Structure 1
Amino acid sequence: METTRRQFQGVLNILSFNRHFYIIGIGILALITLSHQLFEWSDLLYWIIIAAFLYGLIMPLIVSAYVYDFSGYYDFEWLKDCSIDESKVKKILNINAGFDETSYIIKDNFPQADVKVFDFYDAKRHTEPAIVRARKVSIVYPDTQQMQSNSMPLPDQSVDLIFLLSAVHEIRSNEEKILFLKECHRLCKTEGKIIMVEHLRDFPNFLAFSVGFTHFFSKAIWKNAFSHAGFASIKEVKFTPFMSIFICTP
């Protein structure tokens, strides 16, 4: 299947899935402007507030365009940093939260491998409006299976690669994250790898998303979760200042 992305598809996705934030933000800006017209208050304070709101609305779109549209994220060139011997990869899992833009790309990169796709979305636990909207437009890879975050119907040590691409932060509970990663550990062969790509709750992402960076988790939280799930090796590689690739082995 064709995997070519449209121009600015990444930033348009961000706008579409998170439009409630932008509607609220524009509404607040309109109220601030109206109050400045009706009441006497400092012009300097007014322009500082306007600048802060505009920064909060525009900067996430600029960073998202950079990461998802211009960095080569969907070209998967960053896989070269993951030390994968493609000749040994026979079975791959790609696990998402109901929005899948990568399974066909993974299959193109590993044509010899059997690619299975699992979706851990649970409407009762994962209630973010952005996920609900994303699921409506997601391309569904053939035979995608629904799963519980702590259970996948596959044998122990049966998978060479597990991809977790910008998805696992949707599991908000730390306990649930550890149970999920324990299940990934169970499935992963001794020489297999988990490849997780995530924004982090760090200073660059604070500059990019302001308070929205709290939607992500810190490096320490991820390393702690992987350690508690039993992974022996956890390596981080930066992909742009705003994204981290975690390469984990059992």
Structure 2
Amino acid sequence: MDAMRKPFQGVLNIIRFNWHFYVIALFLVLALILVAFTFLLPLKQYILLLATLIVGSMAVSLIVSWYVYDVSNLYQLQWIDDIHNHQRILNINAGFDETSHLLKKKFPAADILSYDFYDPVKHTEVSIKRARKAYPAFAGTIQGNTHHLELPDNSMDKIFVTLAAHEVRNELERGVFFRELERVVKPTGQIYITEHLRDVPNFLAYNIGFFHFYSKSTWLKTFQQGNLTVHLEKKITPFISTFILVKNGSSS
């Protein structure tokens, strides 16, 4: 765990920014228990089983989140290749930036630019709004959009989009966004896309919540739309994948 992050910061932020889901689940569990013990129902044991499953599912998701965001090396950035001095780094977020200050600490000689594509009209999740209020933006953050990055062609050595690209829910918008990433990165540069996948481990961890993620095949299609090639895929944990992309035809 990175020294700049507090113990349990990741899992506590999940509860803090999504507390309404946990309140709803708690009321549902209490209602099921009340019904089960108030009425002499032949299905009493099944109602209690359902309540137990709901509690168990929440517990598993929080334990996995604690492992991913507080215990694993995700925020130690060990999965990032060395960044040379004075390289230009673009770090893109969707309204909640947890990594720009970590990149600056790990690579102090790099020129790091934070870019926030959050649009309150398109990106309506209340959790993002709560996160933006709780944490200040990285110094010098550019507030922009996904359809045109206000940056020159071939200007960035590395681009990072960490746990943010999935917030672009519209497929056409996502394709445009990745074409912009391809335009901005240098011919010898790399783009790091870090995401949960809609796969078996994340289904076991997050139940129906895994539908908020995209499958690997969906990401590969998106990369193709952006004229990008997967140079390397890394598994940071069984629940988190990083795709290192390069421009088509590049061997970097």
TM class, shorter-length: over 0.9
- Determine helix, strand or coil for the equivalent of 1:193: strand
Please give the alpha-carbon distance, in whole angstroms, between the structure 1 residues aligned to 2:159 and 2:173.
18
8 Å CA contact retained: 1:226, 1:234: no
Please give the alpha-carbon distance, in whole angstroms, between the structure 2 residues aligned to 1:135 and 1:178.
26
Please give the alpha-carbon distance, in whole angstroms, between the structure 2 residues aligned to 1:32 and 1:64.
26
Bigger Cα displacement from structure 2, 42-51 vs 11-20: 42-51
Deviations 1:133-191 (A, max 9, x none): 11111231111111111111111000000000111111111111111111000000011
| Corresponding residue to 2:217 among 188, 195, 220 | 220
**1:49 corresponds to:** 50
8 Å CA contact retained: 1:3, 1:105: no
**1:229 corresponds to:** 226
Please give the alpha-carbon distance, in whole angstroms, between the structure 1 residues aligned to 2:37 and 2:3.
50
8 Å CA contact retained: 1:165, 1:198: yes
Matches within 5 A, 1:172-211: 172-211=169-208
2:67 pairs with 1:70: no
Moved over 6 A (4+): none
Bigger Cα displacement from structure 2, 33-42 vs 5-14: 33-42
Please give the alpha-carbon distance, in whole angstroms, between the structure 2 residues aligned to 1:137 and 1:3.
20
**2:155 corresponds to:** 158
Q: Kindly report the root-mean-square deviation, in angstroms, between the aligned alpha carbons of the 2 structures.
A: 1.5
Instruction: Give the deviation of 1:86 after TM superposition.
Output: 2.3
Please give the alpha-carbon distance, in whole angstroms, between the structure 1 residues aligned to 2:144 and 2:3.
25
Please give the alpha-carbon distance, in whole angstroms, between the structure 1 residues aligned to 2:86 and 2:153.
16
Please give the alpha-carbon distance, in whole angstroms, between the structure 1 residues aligned to 2:167 and 2:132.
13
Instruction: Give the deviation of 1:46 after TM superposition.
Output: 2.4
Q: Can you give the 5+ residue segments of structure 1 that lack an aligned partner in the other structure?
A: none
- Determine helix, strand or coil for the equivalent of 2:26: helix
- Residue type of the alignment partner of 2:165: V
Bigger Cα displacement from structure 2, 122-131 vs 51-60: 51-60
**1:102 corresponds to:** 99
- Determine helix, strand or coil for the equivalent of 1:92: strand
Please give the alpha-carbon distance, in whole angstroms, between the structure 1 residues aligned to 2:60 and 2:185.
38
8 Å CA contact retained: 1:89, 1:160: no
- Superposition TM-score, scaled by structure 2 size: 0.93
Deviations 1:101-126 (A, max 9, x none): 11011112222211111100000110
Q: Can you give the 5+ residue segments of structure 2 that lack an aligned partner in the other structure?
A: 248-252
- Residue type of the alignment partner of 1:174: E
**1:132 corresponds to:** 129
8 Å CA contact retained: 2:32, 2:48: no
8 Å CA contact retained: 1:86, 1:110: yes
Please give the alpha-carbon distance, in whole angstroms, between the structure 2 residues aligned to 1:121 and 1:103.
16
Deviations 1:67-101 (A, max 9, x none): 0101121111122xxxx352266100000011111
2:88 pairs with 1:87: no
8 Å CA contact retained: 1:63, 1:208: yes
| Corresponding residue to 1:143 among 140, 145, 152 | 140
Of all paired residues, the percent bearing the same amino acid is 42
2:119 pairs with 1:122: yes
Please give the alpha-carbon distance, in whole angstroms, between the structure 2 residues aligned to 1:28 and 1:233.
44
Please give the alpha-carbon distance, in whole angstroms, between the structure 2 residues aligned to 1:153 and 1:97.
16
Please give the alpha-carbon distance, in whole angstroms, between the structure 2 residues aligned to 1:102 and 1:110.
12
